[in-house]
Structure 1
């Protein structure tokens, strides 16, 4: 891997991301919320209101006035509080780096305060903006250089499960925290578009540098995974890429649907909610919302029929903790809603189908392919 220098600053952005180096993000919470990096922790030097005040002062009166205002706002109590959090972070992450937006005033002040307290902590030259630019440039270059294979198959065939069993895969849905369908929302919500792009770029970089020459296996996706949008260059390449087609029986697909969309989602909700009744309520409300979102495509009559199936399943689930009631609903959605869309999308693909079969057959085939 690329080495990380131990001096006061670095421009080795590749090394930072390949080595999962801890990053101390001293930008404001608002800036952090718009986008950052997977290993970054936000401990701001300025809160949102202070950042606005100093930014306004800078525009009206210039750099020196803004610095003076910053010094005025950094009271002894404020400085003491900031320092306590930074020092805790530095002790826990001695190999880390700090950054602000451009690697300017905020980074250098943070670095100076830490040095005064006895901690030499390096910064990222160019800050967030430079790292973000680097990742966007590298993402496009990585897409161009990569050999991509698409794992395709109808909804419910267990593509994501299989993807995790194959070497050389990148889980786009995992990066987007969404299962990619109308019912695909996951606990915790989705990252911002910027965070999604940053994570995607890092995943491609790691593959190309740690597994040079190996193909990248991606699950077949539309342009949007939930609200996260794939780069157009990646979508274009995916359309032309060779395809491995996962085929499973409708019975198995229904079982997978119940497991992933009902049982797994409920378990995820239980993991973050202390009220024992709330997870089930959130699950069923999410199912109702998801079904409602496709009402127009289903048509009024079919939507009503599927709503009745859903309510019957919810009642059984609530009274007897039995998830089998969801099977008729899932079977209907798969065969009547998802399968026709999939058949149409498959016809649009320009890539050759190089293998087709069930999960075990594909695992065996890919193992032989990579060892050849």
Structure 2
């Protein structure tokens, strides 16, 4: 049974039968991976196909049959009689067709996604181009260390619609922003996650989002989204200098406990600030003078960069209202008050 993306909600589960590597790069959100060929097997079959298509097809069929049998004995062994899965592969061809055929022979009502992952990816790109314009964004702007991300989290907990781009990208957006525990998703997977979230927003309510540049770590934000948030109303988040220093010392404690890694990240700024300044920052790291270090980073790097970015990129920044917070404090009251005033 051939199905389209419009039929997704009619199925109990979505199964991606591509290799684990293909799945890791991107997949339909919520899908499980039940590969009919492993990463290595796909390479072997593909290489042989260039030399002898018939032999490669015969080898591939045997491997696919063996892997389907393994999934029946493990992944699918407890599925009920009325289970209805949707199967897809790269183009909706032999791999998904083989799995769907066997599942239907057993008695399950398995569908096969027409066009496979390629059809899904085309749909994602179309939605990424259109969806941002449907939302009314409110941008949380402010200097590094003022607690924008914590306020965004508090807004979400208060019931607001929020778009946490740094959370989706697994990166805080600055030279020090890489997550200590998780790698960034592939660009295509980020696009999928972003599309799913944009599609869930109620257009009648505002969506709060942090001010971002076009790139978050290795992830590039779509042009349609950048146009929407750069034309949005802004809220200027402010905090005292002492509060910002205290917040950064706590927020980047993982780097302060790993001096070698900290220095390697700062080394990327050598062309901007020069070797003498970098050497001084390294000395502050070695001496454990974290407050002094972040004070200099704020004065020499973060605040000048923010001034350039906010003035050039956000059209309504000069009309922004100001909200002063303690980034290390309880932000639930500020979030609820802001949400009440803006009707979110």
- TM-score of the alignment, normalized to the shorter chain, above 0.5: yes
- 1:310-345 per-residue CA deviation (whole Å, 9 max, x = no partner) reads 1122xxxxxxxxxxx422211221122100111122
Q: CA deviation at 1:361?
A: 5.0
Number of residue-to-residue matches in the alignment:
329
Q: CA deviation at 1:58?
A: 5.7
Q: CA deviation at 1:50?
A: 2.8
Aligned position for 2:311: 347
Aligned position for 2:24: 33
Q: CA deviation at 1:83?
A: 2.8
Equivalent residue runs for 1:277-316 within 5 Å: 280=257, 283-313=258-288
TM-aligned CA distance change 1:192 to 1:199, over 3 Å: same
Aligned position for 2:212: 221
Between the aligned partners of 1:57 and 1:107, the Cα distance in structure 2 is 21
Equivalent residue runs for 1:223-238 within 5 Å: 223-238=214-229
Native 8 Å contact 1:25 1:40 kept in 2:
yes
Between the aligned partners of 2:238 and 2:112, the Cα distance in structure 1 is 50
- 1:84-142 per-residue CA deviation (whole Å, 9 max, x = no partner) reads 34315856x95653321122211121122234445444333322111121111112110
Q: Secondary structure at the match of 2:175?
A: coil
Choose 101-110 or 48-57, whichever is displaced more: 48-57
TM-aligned CA distance change 1:50 to 1:125, over 3 Å: same
Equivalent residue runs for 1:179-190 within 5 Å: 179-186=172-179, 187-190=181-184
Native 8 Å contact 1:87 1:114 kept in 2:
no
Matching residue within 3, 8, 25 for 1:10: 3
Native 8 Å contact 2:19 2:35 kept in 1:
yes
TM-aligned CA distance change 1:153 to 1:20, over 3 Å: farther
Aligned position for 2:15: 24
Native 8 Å contact 2:146 2:237 kept in 1:
yes
Equivalent residue runs for 1:25-174 within 5 Å: 25-55=16-46, 67-74=57-64, 78-88=67-77, 90=79, 94=83, 96-166=85-155, 167-174=160-167
TM-aligned CA distance change 1:75 to 1:134, over 3 Å: closer
Q: CA deviation at 1:156?
A: 0.7
Whether 2:233 is the aligned partner of 1:242: answer yes
Q: CA deviation at 1:180?
A: 0.5
TM-aligned CA distance change 1:249 to 1:94, over 3 Å: farther
Between the aligned partners of 1:58 and 1:362, the Cα distance in structure 2 is 59
Q: CA deviation at 1:253?
A: 1.0
Choose 347-356 or 185-194, whichever is displaced more: 347-356
Q: CA deviation at 1:222?
A: 0.6
Q: CA deviation at 1:236?
A: 2.4
- 1:187-211 per-residue CA deviation (whole Å, 9 max, x = no partner) reads 211001111111111110111xxx2
- 1:22-73 per-residue CA deviation (whole Å, 9 max, x = no partner) reads 43211012322332233233221012233234445666766x7754332243
Equivalent residue runs for 1:189-228 within 5 Å: 189-207=183-201, 211-228=202-219
Q: Secondary structure at the match of 2:296?
A: helix
- Aligned-pair Cα RMSD in Å: 2.9
Q: Which protein has greater RCO, CA pairs closer than 8 Å, 6+ apart?
A: 2
Aligned position for 2:330: none
- TM-score when normalising by structure 1: 0.79
Between the aligned partners of 1:160 and 1:169, the Cα distance in structure 2 is 11
Choose 300-309 or 173-182, whichever is displaced more: 300-309
TM-aligned CA distance change 1:347 to 1:73, over 3 Å: closer
- 1:136-172 per-residue CA deviation (whole Å, 9 max, x = no partner) reads 1112110122222211000011111101222111000
Between the aligned partners of 1:89 and 1:67, the Cα distance in structure 2 is 31
